[in-house]
């Protein structure tokens, strides 16, 4: 399972700059104005063969009259409860402030694994200023400059050393992994209970989770898979104020560690912004998808017209990826829950499907010859060979052309659609690459 590292600290100490540095992106907005980061940023970092997730939080502010700062503080509390490791960022040029001391006290009382990071150490002389941060009681300070990258390599070595070691290989490691994800109170616990046939997971109106039972082995009706559970178990302190952020934090872990994601949508509320946030996480991690419209028993009219309206709305919001199954079910009455498992297994089989090179060329080359890529600057693009890359996490196809740089995205989507028409890859993302022949 991917580890989670949260960057916390008071406003304007360089958290977003460090996030961009670790993830090698420019997703987080960087400004000299304190409080710029209000929304959370999520990215991935890889170092010495270890991969972990990074969450950039807003500046930690207490006793403030600003409504945004109050919400930011609540979300930072959630981040610290969910993370495997905390990077507590301070500004070496400003020294210890009252807010730094207060945050350090909170981190010490909660006994969280913390790395103290002194940012803005732009030269060797400023490293001596970091000595005063020993008084925070959080161990040795690590001096870095997030802007220039100085010291970040040593910091990454320390992060990797402090993160929990990957779990030992299990006998059932090759089993499919299905994750039930969705926003709070959509019925995830009820669906998991319906799958396993017992009330193993407590069902309440309070959104919460557990770290204890991550996997549930399902071996019934000719199906054998691991159920990655994100259903709420108990209420955790100080998380009810921001349930949406909490659901995304839990979904990150479940999605990363699954093969197929069963995304649950509340039929009484329709598809909402939070559903789209989780769907985008699924897409970003290139996981297969089954959409379940739960609580179908509470919809007063259940005719085909209503179902078609639901399906059209869901596919429109999730476009351009629309090739996935949609199931209308009720976890309470167990309506169509076995079909959910059947579709998840079918989508997993599609994910590991392999098309022979001979068959692929036989089908695709005549089609490409009839509908070639449009010429650009008077140059004609010729695709003479294609193949599926073996042993990839998602179906990946490579087309070899004389001028691959001139093949545009619309033609790649055309090739993907034609592959989907000829072979069943329902519910699975497909990668299409154009390479020099």
Q: What's the pLDDT score for residue 2? A: 63
Q: What's the pLDDT score for residue 169? A: 42
Least confident of 89-98, 177-186, 387-396: 177-186
Of 394, 9, 67, 362, the closest CA to residue 241 belongs to: 67
**Is the pLDDT score of 26 beyond 80?**
no
- What is the tens place of the pLDDT at every residue in 153-203? 999 999 999 988 765 444 445 788 888 888 777 887 778 777 777 544 444
Q: What's the pLDDT score for residue 75? A: 58
- What is the tens place of the pLDDT at every residue in 295-330? 888 888 878 888 898 899 999 998 888 899 999 998
| Residue appearing with tokens 């403030």 | 64
Q: Are 89 and 13 in contact (CB under 8 A)?
A: yes
> Where is pLDDT greater, at 422 or 246?
422
**Is the pLDDT score of 291 beyond 70?**
yes
- In this prediction, residue 99 has a pLDDT band, given cuts at 50, 70 and 90, of confident
According to the per-residue pLDDT averaged within each range, which of 57-71, 255-269, 356-370 is highest?
356-370
- In this prediction, residue 117 has a pLDDT band, given cuts at 50, 70 and 90, of very high
Give me the sheet containing 431-436, strands edge to edge.
383-388, 396-401, 431-436
Q: Is the dihedral of CA 22, 23, 24, 25 positive or negative?
A: negative
Least confident of 36-50, 133-147, 329-343: 36-50
- In this prediction, residue 250 has a pLDDT band, given cuts at 50, 70 and 90, of low
- What does the buried/exposed string (b/e) look like for 418-434 if buried means 16 or more CB atoms within 10 Å of the residue's CB? ebbeebebbbbbbebeb
**Is the pLDDT score of 56 beyond 60?**
yes
Give this prediction's pTM.
Answer: 0.64
Q: Are 176 and 348 in contact (CB under 8 A)?
A: yes
> Where is pLDDT greater, at 84 or 63?
84
| Residue appearing with tokens 């699924």 | 282
> Where is pLDDT greater, at 174 or 347?
347
Q: Rounded CA gap, 60 and 72, in Å?
A: 7
């Amino acid at each position: 399972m991917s580890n989670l590292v949260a960057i916390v600290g008071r406003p304007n100490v360089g958290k977003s700059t460090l996030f961009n540095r670790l993830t090698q992106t420019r997703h987080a907005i960087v400004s000299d104005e304190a409080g710029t980061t209000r929304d959370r940023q999520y990215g991935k970092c890889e170092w010495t063969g270890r991969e972990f997730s990074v969450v950039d939080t807003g500046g930690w502010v207490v006793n403030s009259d600003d409504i945004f700062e109050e919400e930011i503080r609540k979300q930072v509390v959630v981040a610290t409860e969910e993370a495997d490791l905390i990077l507590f960022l301070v500004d070496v040029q400003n020294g210890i402030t009252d807010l730094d001391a207060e945050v350090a006290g909170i981190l010490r009382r909660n006994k969280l694994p913390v790395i103290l990071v002194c940012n803005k150490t732009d030269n060797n002389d400023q490293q001596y200023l970091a000595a005063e941060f020993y008084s925070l009681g959080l161990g040795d300070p690590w001096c870095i400059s997030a802007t220039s990258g100085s010291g970040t390599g040593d910091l990454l070595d320390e992060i990797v050393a402090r993160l929990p070691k990957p779990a030992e290989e299990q006998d059932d490691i090759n089993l499919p992994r299905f994750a039930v994800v969705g926003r709070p109170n959509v019925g995830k616990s009820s669906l998991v209970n319906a799958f396993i046939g017992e009330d193993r997971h407590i069902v309440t109106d309070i959104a919460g989770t557990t770290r204890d039972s991550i996997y549930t082995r399902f071996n019934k009706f000719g199906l054998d898979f691991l159920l990655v559970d994100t259903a709420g178990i108990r209420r955790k302190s100080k998380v009810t104020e921001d349930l949406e952020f909490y659901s995304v934090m839990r979904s990150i872990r479940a999605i990363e560690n699954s093969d197929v994601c069963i995304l649950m949508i509340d039929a009484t509320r329709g598809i909402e912004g939070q559903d789209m946030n989780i769907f985008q996480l699924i897409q970003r991690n290139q996981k297969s998808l089954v959409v379940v419209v739960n609580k179908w028993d509470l919809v007063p009219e259940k005719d085909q017209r209503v179902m078609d309206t639901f399906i059209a709305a869901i596919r429109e919001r999730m476009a351009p990826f629309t090739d996935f199954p949609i199931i209308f079910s009720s976890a309470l009455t167990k309506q169509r829950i076995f079909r959910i498992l059947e579709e998840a297994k079918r989508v997993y089989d599609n994910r590991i499907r392999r098309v022979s090179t001979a068959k692929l060329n036989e089908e695709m080359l005549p089609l490409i010859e009839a509908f070639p890529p449009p010429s650009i600057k008077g140059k004609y693009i010729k695709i003479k060979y294609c193949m599926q890359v073996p042993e990839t996490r998602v179906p990946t196809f490579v087309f070899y052309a004389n001028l691959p740089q001139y093949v545009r995205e619309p033609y790649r989507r055309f090739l993907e659609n034609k592959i989907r028409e000829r072979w069943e890859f329902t519910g699975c993302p497909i990668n299409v690459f154009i390479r020099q022949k």
